[in-house]
Amino acid sequence: MVIRVVVWNENVHEQENEIVADLYPDGIHGAIANALNAADGVSAATATLQDPEHGLSAARLAETDVLLWWGHAAHGDVSDTVSERVVEAVWSGMGFIALHSAHFAKPFKALMGTACNLTWREAGERERIWLTSRNHPIAHGLPDQFALENEEMYGEPFGVPEPQETVFISWFQGGEVFRSGLTYRRGAGNVFYFRPGHETYPTYHDPNVQRVLQNAVRWAHNPARRVPDVTDTPNVPVDAALEPIEERGPRLHRDGEAGFR
């Protein structure tokens, strides 16, 4: 079974900053998609903020097994409708991987239900990433630790819910630490947050980072059939109850009438 992946990127810095454009001539989304397409059993395409419906129509999400999301400067430009569509796709079983500054992306914040805030510093310092769960599928084939010579610092406390599992912890030259690889389950969908990926550094060209993303796609993929009508709240009439009952009190709604939302 081929895992169908879409790599979404706001594609703003690449258009406005020469350093980013030189590092990622095909865009951050292109670099990530190329790395994923080098893995067996993965077919990765791309979408950007500038595409109609941000490249994430309902039909396309229905055919997407795993969505990766990179955003930074244009979180507020993402349509609420598209964000809600992404969240509902995750609830129904689509995998979702939030990268670096996507901790503030609309879909990720909605899935977490928290502020997703943190401390940060842009100084190009060394980040050392440590495995905290050697046997986790996302850690497959990785050393116990690896370093990125230049990265933006993210520091604790990180305002997210307690994860199912912490796969990576990062240490920075300035002394801060950060939970940099976190897994969640939201509805039927698997969610992974991975911290590295500041746009002015060649992070997505690093072989270990690429291995993490390849592993994460396989982990996030849910091969089961999508849960249909994931937000429906049907009004079950009295005569359709599993056990016979009699109506014993007044009610606001008639049979089949929608409830308040």
Report domain extents, the chain.
3-220
Residue 29, pLDDT > 90, answer: yes
Report the DSSP beta bridge partners of residue 69. 8, 98
pLDDT tens digit sequence for 145-204: 999 999 999 999 999 999 999 999 999 999 999 999 999 999 999 999 999 999 999 999
Residue 192 to residues 57, 82, 99, 111, Cα–Cα distance (Å): 22, 20, 9, 11
Report the DSSP beta bridge partners of residue 151. 125
- The Cα–Cα gap between 162 and 42 comes to 30
Instruction: Give me the amino acid identity at 15.
Output: Q
Q: What is the pLDDT of residue 10?
A: 98
CATH 1.10.150.80 given to domain 3-220: no
Tokens for 181, please give them: 């690889």
**Coil/strand/helix, residue 80:** helix
pLDDT tens digit sequence for 219-256: 999 999 999 999 999 999 999 999 999 999 999 998 88
**Coil/strand/helix, residue 153:** strand
**Coil/strand/helix, residue 178:** strand
pLDDT tens digit sequence for 103-147: 999 999 999 999 999 999 999 999 999 999 999 999 999 999 999
The whole-model pTM stands at: 0.96
